Amino acid sequence: MIPDDAEPGVHRRFDPLQGEWILVSPHRDRRPWQGQVDAPAPALPEHDPACHLCPGNLRANGTRNPDYQGVYTFDNDFPALLETTSAEPTASALFRSEPTRGRCRVLCYAPEHDQSLARLPDAALAEVVAAWQRETVDLGHDWRWVQCFENRGASMGCSSAHPHGQIWALDALPTLVRREFEQQRSYWDSHGTPLLLAVAEAEAAAGTRVVIDDRDWLVVVPFWARWPFETLILPRRSCPGFAWLGEDESVSLAAVLGELFRAYDNLFHCAFPYSFGWHGLPGPAQAGTAFWQLHGHCYPPLLRSASIRKFMVGFEMLAESQRDITPEIAAARLRMARGPHWQQRTEEVAR
């Protein structure tokens, strides 16, 4: 842990993936708090008869879920993207639009309503990784971009507490992804190596922002992190996407993810909310894309406790992102939080 008197002064850090600066104010998390205090998430049952995602239940569109035992994927009943559109392109100096098509899928991680990536055993997590691989490759044959992601918790806008993620595929390169595409390509042109592979090697050597150091994967609080306990999940070798992962790497990824999400929950003894997702090239290998590196982003909002979160407002919306605690302190706290899930330890003590 970095002592308070060793904190650096106010400074800015550069994000090479987005080409943006982030203001860092290490002293600011000690200010008095009289803002919003979130209520703790209620305990969940193993099966919720009112849940649209539990096995055997009716979904909102009248379809009945099968009695699934592992992962379960299906087309979203209320998709943000449709495979056909009546929209027409418009173009002028001021007002431009273009039609967009796509497909939205839902991935249930487990049949139990009270499960999560933090509490799934490694074998079940390996099924989730396999589903990401399968879906991105299959959808990547037809769509330009495939985005796997999860919003966990009501504070992140999640409409169902059942453990699940989403997979959106579309015919365009989204704005943030395009920026990463251009930044990674520019670094490759200048240095001849993938940007995020260089980041992984430098972070592993430094160690101060490393949360998990695995043979195949590295999890860090990136130097340029915006959110208090933001993490970046990186392969240790050149790997453009899920299609390029070997069996051993998929198995080790499942174990690493379990370790990471348990650390999140352990940090404040709560179901830690977040938005989490993958950026990787789907489908078969594509010429001229060796600069792209598969990576996962996790953006959790909690700052001081299970009830006090970071808000991206004011200066962040009008000028640039700002964070309070340094990435180095955040990484140290997450390292200390690794281990068995806090609820498992509590249950063992109760027995």
Supply the residues annotated as catalytic.
Answer: 164
**Residue 64, both tokens:** 């009945």
Pairing of strands 11-15, 20-24: antiparallel
**Cβ pair 249, 216 in contact under 8 A:** yes
- DSSP state, residue 324: S
**Integer Cα distance of 82 and 253 in angstroms:** 32
Collapsed DSSP state (helix, strand, coil) of residue 107: strand
Collapsed DSSP state (helix, strand, coil) of residue 205: helix
Q: Which of 251, 222, 247 minimizes the C-alpha distance to 234?
A: 222
In DSSP terms, 74 is beta-bridged to: 106
**Integer Cα distance of 102 and 213 in angstroms:** 36
**Cβ pair 237, 290 in contact under 8 A:** no
Question: Residue 159, Cα to own-chain centre: how many angstroms?
Answer: 17
Backbone torsions φ then ψ of 337, nearest 5 degrees: -90, -5
Q: What angle do CA 125, 126, 132 make, to 5 degrees?
A: 95
